[in-house]
Amino acid sequence: MTGLPQILFEDNHLLIINKRPGEIVQGDKTGDAPLTDQLKLYLKEKYNKPGAVFLGLVHRLDRPVSGAVIFAKTSKALTRLTRMVKDREITKIYLAVVDHLPDPAEGTLVNYLIKNERQNKSYPAAEQTPGAKRAELTYKLIASGKTFHLLEIHLLTGRHHQIRAQLAIAGCHIKGDLKYGAARSNPDGSISLHARMLNFTHPVSRENVSIVAPFPANPEWQYFNDK
């Protein structure tokens, strides 16, 4: 994958990009080049910075997921945004293409999830299970096609693979997500989950920041783009 991802917002303190499926936000055991390195080089060249470039990651998206990701260009912004994430002061809206209609069409999912480190997968667990964490989201059906359906998801907690795991538990598997029960993979290895919108108060200027990340070019997103 080549080329800089689409920049959705940039000022002295923030850099928000539209991550493409397949890109990794931070370095991992694969050894593939992460977005943090690519974006540091972009900032170094754009602003002619002589030394090391500061770029703090505020939150993450799984490798096969696309959409808006926030980076902090200053330590002040990173400290404040990290606290805002913890205090749930950043609204995150996702869109997911799933294989079954949810019942009811709109509602709240609450589960306790436990992460299996070896498998890099989250499983449902009883509330009292050691290491289990409460996961909560709201969802709403917003469009349907012949085979797949589009859900809008408001993430209320930030657990490992939360949306993927909770929708699978509800019987609504995300298109292409073999790890969580999808029937087949997407041709490009992505899963049809997109971080569509972000809304928060700027950590320094205190102005409202509202971001909408355009869909990837994949056929399923283009199908629902007009719905």
Query: Do 132 and 155 touch, CB atoms closer than 8 A?
Result: no
Query: What is the per-residue burial (b if ≥16 Cβ within 10 Å, else e) of 95-112?
Result: bbbbbeebeeeeeebebb
**Measured between alpha carbons, how far apart are the two ends of the chain, in Å?**
29
Q: Residue 91's beta-bridge partner residues? A: 199
3-class secondary-structure state, position 177? coil
Q: Which of 28, 32, 37, 62 is catalytic?
A: 62
SS3 104: coil
Residue 30 near residue 49 (C-beta atoms within 8 A): no
Joined tokens for residue 89: 């002061």
- Alpha carbon distance 227, 202 (integer Å): 31
* Contact (CB, 8 A) for 68 and 198: yes
Distance of alpha carbon 127 from alpha carbon 33, whole angstroms: 38
DSSP 137: E
Is 62 considered catalytic here? yes
| The token pair that represents 185 in the structure block | 């993979």
* Residues with catalytic roles: 62
